[in-house]
Structure 1
């Protein structure tokens, strides 16, 4: 927006100065080929009209209501699944995938608030129009999908309470169909331009490595890596829907028709997001000849042995129930998973966030005031960075909780696994803040000093719906 005001977020922001103040809210990023970062330039964002302000205020109230309804339905579903685990096992698995998709859209709104507060030029990084349009689009899409998921969840719980075992299994599947129809709706309504932007990005991801890789391409592909389990749950939902033509609901829940018999397709779908990023990294190396892109490709390649090992372990458990923690398949899974977790964690903090690099130590003429961090930090208080480094470590190794039988036995397996999947979505949401911040700071002069300031009543940024 023209006045450079952004989200009402209780954060301290670093105002980077050199000879004069750098208003990063007025910056743009010009794409330099593929995989090569951004050069910042000036821009003036469009201001909303009065009518748009009124509509945004109304939509904001509806959006808050959708958040409340979405959270309540999610809690009720988790409670029902833990109490009636046998009755809702299949439906819970079909609903959790769509839940994580909608949750990530909601969290993206918080990412926008944080980026705006930090004066991070995410608009031009993603090659979008202006932040006013982006905020309204993401807010509207999250509101629509949130209400849609809440409605499907409510109907599922109601039918379950009425003991309509046959009808209840159709609802989560039809919810997937409704969400897919919403995103590909061909008419110019329901934020058509924003949905088409996402579809175009997804198309470029699907055909990787044919096209050059933009920042938006690999960023969205990274989001898909945190939603890899959603692909498996979607396949399970479609298998369940097709199976209803040949089996009863009771048979599908008792027999491993969709849980085990389609392991090959499930493993392929789980590996797809990693393959897309792997192919993008190879394309980046082809375009730039920079070795870090090959190392990044190796990070995503490490996902494939982990997925294969998980499939071997699940298959072994069918014949040998005690294969978990005792058989050779378990040890293969554990070693490959730990190796991957170490690889991706080191890459997170060093390459994606820019921490623990040479300029944090005496080897650089510009020494960071904060050990192990970057020279330029746009968010404050700075202890948040150290907290995020530790939190990312915990979330990356959260799978180790499966090895503790006491904790693992406290809740049903599907509910416990769903909690881990949701934790990964939250980790990606936190990762987004520092990834874009680092992308912006890479264009700043190393010797530019920083000065922290805190929002007060006089300089609190304003989001569109608050105008």
Structure 2
């Protein structure tokens, strides 16, 4: 009485074939299904899907082939230039692409930061007040991968075209690249992570004009920007040369050029992130009346004499620079380096929280390698001091022409900032967990996930 008449209907079976409907309670149903899969029935469709490991290996091989081609074409293009123009040729190419290469490196490192936080007990989304739709380390690495492909490809095209006499086409390469990046950043449509781009632009606006109460993402990003002042300096000079149509003109005499290395705009661009951070500290003191905000503002103010005294090298007599301004610049550099180092260790990191860093909720390779090892903390403190001093020295004006040295020091400063982020975010998370018990934090997260209105950041 419980038989399904549809299963016994002859209209649902082909002549000489088995039933398409199989009762799971009947013995032999599995074998019948196996016969069905192995039959030559037109209902059976075989699809060949490559394995994820194969796709990953194919992408790696393709990426290595592309990198090898870029290196080969770039090297041959440089060797085509005459010896007396080769260094200036490289210097100008590096000027245009150095900012975007450093930004690419910072995006890669930020993705590593997010990955480590996701493996551990630090809830970085709570620290930055993000919702569940924020970009993870996978999306950040995807963006950085595209940057890694696009920027060197444009640089290789610039070197190749200029060395083969196509000056106008070579000049268009960095211009088109900068325009494309600007358009993607301000694109108003809901593609390319619109909410994240809006969050970044809004935070940059709040940094430049600290008229509202300061939040953690505001001064966190501002601190990162102080490590990228070289990016803004080269970016200003590159845009200036593009506006004045001086791209791909290696015969320019830099000292007297409109966009040369001696112009007053360079120290102004270098000091701008420090001034923004100083104003943030003053605004924070106005809101909280904490004296530590004034001491933090004093720390950023010590960078101002370092930058402007260094710029005086090209605007004063050589004797005056050697006898008066250079010793004053060295003294201000030592003060800035030591003050910044002290603040990093005692305030931004809070040594009492060092024992929790790299303490993951589940075992991982990094936790086994780093957690509980004293050399990690000695390395972080020692390298922070050395790189702080090196970064202050990089602000010296006489290093502007040594683009390889400046790029190396800037990359090292980004590595210092990369390891600084771990302890800074960890310290902020410790403050949140102390002020709000974990039960309250979980309740707030449940309310956020259950809310119908979300804010994609």
The TM-score normalised by the length of structure 2 is 0.70
Q: Counterparts of 1:154-193 in structure 2 under 5 Å?
A: 154-165=156-167, 167-193=169-195
Distance 2:344 2:77 in 1: 36
Deviations 1:347-373 (A, max 9, x none): 111111112xxx6xxxxxxxxxxxxx7
- Kindly indicate whether residue 255 of structure 2 is the aligned counterpart of residue 264 of structure 1: no
Q: 1:378·1:437 contact (CA, 8 Å) conserved in 2? A: no
Q: 2:310·2:329 contact (CA, 8 Å) conserved in 1? A: yes
Alpha-carbon offset, residue 193 of structure 1: 1.4
Q: 2:222·2:273 contact (CA, 8 Å) conserved in 1? A: yes
- CA RMSD, 1 decimal: 3.9
Distance 1:280 1:374 in 2: 27
Alpha-carbon offset, residue 412 of structure 1: 7.2
Distance 2:286 2:57 in 1: 45
- Kindly indicate whether residue 426 of structure 2 is the aligned counterpart of residue 421 of structure 1: no
Q: Counterparts of 1:329-340 in structure 2 under 5 Å?
A: 329-340=325-336
Alpha-carbon offset, residue 225 of structure 1: 0.8
- Relative to structure 1, is the Cα distance of residues 397 and 77 closer, same or farther in structure 2, using a 3 angstrom cutoff? farther
- Relative to structure 1, is the Cα distance of residues 143 and 68 closer, same or farther in structure 2, using a 3 angstrom cutoff? farther
Greater helix share, 1 or 2?
Answer: 2
Match of 1:110 in 2: 112
- Kindly indicate whether residue 344 of structure 2 is the aligned counterpart of residue 344 of structure 1: no
- Relative to structure 1, is the Cα distance of residues 77 and 268 closer, same or farther in structure 2, using a 3 angstrom cutoff? farther
Q: 2:337·2:388 contact (CA, 8 Å) conserved in 1? A: yes
Alpha-carbon offset, residue 111 of structure 1: 0.5
Distance 1:142 1:285 in 2: 37
- Relative to structure 1, is the Cα distance of residues 264 and 147 closer, same or farther in structure 2, using a 3 angstrom cutoff? same
Greater strand share, 1 or 2?
Answer: 1
Distance 1:439 1:253 in 2: 49
Match of 1:387 in 2: 379
Alpha-carbon offset, residue 432 of structure 1: 0.7
Match of 1:310 in 2: 310
Gaps of 5+ in 1: 1-53, 360-372, 449-467
Match of 1:6 in 2: none
Alpha-carbon offset, residue 278 of structure 1: 0.7
Q: 2:78·2:163 contact (CA, 8 Å) conserved in 1? A: no
Alpha-carbon offset, residue 237 of structure 1: 0.7
Match of 1:240 in 2: 241
- Relative to structure 1, is the Cα distance of residues 329 and 112 closer, same or farther in structure 2, using a 3 angstrom cutoff? same
Distance 1:166 1:139 in 2: 34
Q: 2:111·2:138 contact (CA, 8 Å) conserved in 1? A: no
- Relative to structure 1, is the Cα distance of residues 138 and 250 closer, same or farther in structure 2, using a 3 angstrom cutoff? closer
Distance 2:57 2:187 in 1: 23
- Greater RCO, 1 or 2 (C-alpha within 8 Å, sep 6+): 1
Distance 2:58 2:202 in 1: 31
- Which residue among 193, 206, 209 is the counterpart of 2:208? 206
SS of aligned partner of 1:332: helix
- Which residue among 149, 152, 156 is the counterpart of 1:150? 152
- Which residue among 126, 129, 136 is the counterpart of 1:124? 126
Q: 1:166·1:249 contact (CA, 8 Å) conserved in 2? A: no
- Relative to structure 1, is the Cα distance of residues 417 and 79 closer, same or farther in structure 2, using a 3 angstrom cutoff? farther
Gaps of 5+ in 2: 1-50, 360-370, 438-457
Match of 1:279 in 2: 279
Match of 1:28 in 2: none
The TM-score normalised by the length of structure 1 is 0.68
